[in-house]
Amino acid sequence: MISLKHPKTGKILEVDEFWLRYHCRCVECVDADTKQRRYNLFDLPAAVKALKLSYKSDQALLLVEWSDGHKANYDIDNIYNSQLDALISRRTSSTIYTPWNRSTILKHEQNLCFSLSALINNDDVVKSLVTSLVRYGIAFINEVPPTPTMTELAIRRVFPIMKTFFGELWTFGDRKDHADTAYTKLYLGSHTDNTYFCDAAGLQALHCIEHVNGEGGENFFVDGLHVVQELKRENPKAYELLCRVQVPAEYIEPGQHHRHTAPIIKTDPVTGEFVQIRVNEYDRAIMDTLPQSEMANFHGSLRALLELIREEANQWQLKLSPGTIVIFDNWRVLHGRMAYTGQRTMSGAYVQRTDFVSKARVLGIIE
Ligand SMILES: C[N+](C)(C)CCCC[C@H](N)C(=O)O
Ligand SMILES: O=C(O)CCC(=O)C(=O)O
């Protein structure tokens, strides 16, 4: 270990020597074009030693002469910012994620809506939309001509579309194109999609392009981040159990058999932050991942979460009309719809999680 003292703050940091050697960012060590490392672990001596330490450029840089002959320059602040305590403090002090219930989201409604023409003409509007998606997990694009083609154009202005067995840009009503309750006129309780995929879609976009000769079909949304925080406060045992118990989900139709097992609440193993809520009663598979003696506890905890989800104060219900696309974070915001009559056609698409967060990083919204 090497002991460093920050030249400005005086903070002492014990740094593992191999870690420091491995994190040299000079052009010899990291390719300037690809930003990829130019060597692997075995190219460096396991017991590499720092022979000489010195500071330069008003002490902003640390120079190290290594026992393998390499001379490295480090930005001191980069070294301190690359430590676990710095990561945890940045993440836990971030104010980018704003949990909401119905009354609080209604106060921000105007921050969530963007017209298609503004979106097309102005890159800043793209950034504002992605910021709302990160902050609240939901946003709307208005004044979209109600066709599948224009729905696709609007989504592709911001994100690439994820291909699944449902298709890329999908259009659905009550025709049984897939073995799923979504393809009926029935009520759909709050859920997240794709609990049965190894990686559920990150975003989902829905556009009601037609609803005639009937009523109902209102959509509702619940902020999973908010209900998970409430559960953690009110019932920490239930929260802890739902973070831990592995819950299988499944989707079966001719030619498809998807299954994925994971907890209902996923948290970041390093920082403890909320990562994903994965709730879908319709797609729950046989629960064979717990001994029977623990089932009652599990169902009690799940019931506590579902009660919070069902609370009216947490549900934001709205009638989507042709012209408005709703986009929401399928790892955070649960959605559902009321039963309906008449002819109702929805168009929409999924976006991969990795494409959503990559876009947010490129735009400087998250790190
Ligand atoms: C969105 N789209 C209509 C294509 C599919 C709906 C699938 C709903 C399914 N139960 C799930 O949770 O994934
Ligand atoms: O029909 C709707 O409005 C929503 C359908 C739905 O919940 C889904 O596709 O997952």
Give domain limits for the chain.
2-82, 102-362
Which two tokens mark 33? Answer: 């074009």
**Can 2-82 and 102-362 be said to share one CATH topology?**
no
The predicted structure's pLDDT at residue 7 = 87
Which two tokens mark 99? Answer: 């949990």
148 CA → ligand 1 middle, Å:
17
26 secondary structure, DSSP code: S
Q: Strand, coil or helix: what is 298?
A: helix
- Enclosing H/E stretch for 287: none
The predicted structure's pLDDT at residue 367 = 93
Task: Tell which atom from ligand 2 comes closest to the C-alpha of 348.
Answer: 9
Identify the residue whose C-alpha is closest to ligand 2 atom 6.
182
- The alpha helices in 162-313, defined as continuous H runs, are 224-234, 236-244, 295-310
CA distance 292 to 286: 13
The predicted structure's pLDDT at residue 349 = 98
CATH number belonging to domain 2-82: 3.30.2020.30
Q: Strand, coil or helix: what is 173?
A: coil
CA distance 28 to 18: 17
Distance of CA 225 to the CA centre of its chain: 11
238 CA → ligand 1 middle, Å:
27
Please provide the distance, in angstroms rounded to a whole number, between the alpha carbons at the two ends of the chain.
28
The predicted structure's pLDDT at residue 336 = 98
The predicted structure's pLDDT at residue 56 = 87
User: Which regions in the chain score pLDDT beneath 50?
Assistant: none
Catalogue the E-assigned strands of 33-167: 50-56, 61-66, 71-75, 113-115, 138-142
Best CA proximity match to 8, nearest among 56, 60, 53? 60
The predicted structure's pLDDT at residue 58 = 77
Is 102-362 CATH 3.60.130.10?
A: yes
Identify the residue whose C-alpha is closest to ligand 2 atom 8.
182
CA distance 202 to 350: 7
- Hey, which of 188, 315, 317, 326 would you mutate to test ligand 2's pocket, going by the most ligand atoms within 8 Å of its Cβ? 188
Best CA proximity match to 170, nearest among 152, 194, 144? 152
Q: Strand, coil or helix: what is 75?
A: strand
* pLDDT, tens digit, 9 for 90 and up, residues 224-279: 999 999 999 999 999 999 999 999 999 999 999 999 999 999 999 999 999 999 99
Q: How many residues does the chain have?
A: 367
